Structure 1
Amino acid sequence: MFFVIDCQDKPGHLAVRLENRDAHLNYLKDFEQQLIMAGPFMDSDNQMIGSMLIMAFNDHAEADSFCAADPYALAGLFERVQIRPWRKVLPA
């Protein structure tokens, strides 16, 4: 099952994001087989302000565990994390 993980950074936390970026990217390497796509949300000044990932997990609990162990989450970067089941329709 696919899940969209939508993370919004706390305001003023770009330094936290940058300090933990390498650890976050290394963490994602452990989930390469489950990772469909990922990348940051950007503001009008082209600064990273959040993250969006589409990943495959067996269930919502597995997605929750993945998010809880993300170095960004452990560093307190996120103001909000929303995990939603998603079904790919197009392109077929």
Structure 2
Amino acid sequence: MLFAVLCTDKPNALQLRMDTRPEHIAFIDELNAKGGLAFAGPFLDDAGKPNGSLVVIRAETIEEARAIAAADPYAKAGLFAQVDIRPWNWVFNKPEA
């Protein structure tokens, strides 16, 4: 099952994001290697700077999706003001289709 993890950064947290980025990228790479990542990328503000994240993951349950999201170094560093996790159905332009 797919879950969309929608994250909003805390205000003025760009430096924290940049400082934590190498660990976050390693986490995402490992998740991808294990088959748990569908796709991911940052949301951008009006200046084109990252201010949140969209990570779509494969998990069996919402609890597993929450555990994966909580293990992200960005989450552990306290980057996010808000995290919303929702079951998601990839219908259009799905690579496997």
What is the identity, as a one-letter code, of the residue corresponding to 1:61?
A: E
- Identify the residue that residue 4 of structure 1 maps to in structure 2: 4
Backbone CA RMSD of aligned residues: 0.9
Shift of 1:29: 1.6
Shift of 1:69: 1.1
Q: 2:48 aligns with which of 28, 46, 52?
A: 46
Q: Which runs of 4+ in 1 moved over 2 A?
A: none
Percent identity at matched positions? 40
Gapped runs of 5+ residues in structure 1? none
Are 2:61 and 1:65 equivalent residues in the alignment?
no
Instruction: Report the TM-score, using the length of structure 2 for normalisation.
Output: 0.91
What is the identity, as a one-letter code, of the residue corresponding to 1:88?
A: W
Corresponding pairs, count: 92
CA distance in 2, matches of 1:54, 1:73: 15
Q: 2:82 aligns with which of 74, 80, 92?
A: 80
Instruction: Report the TM-score, using the length of structure 1 for normalisation.
Output: 0.96
CA distance in 2, matches of 1:89, 1:27: 27
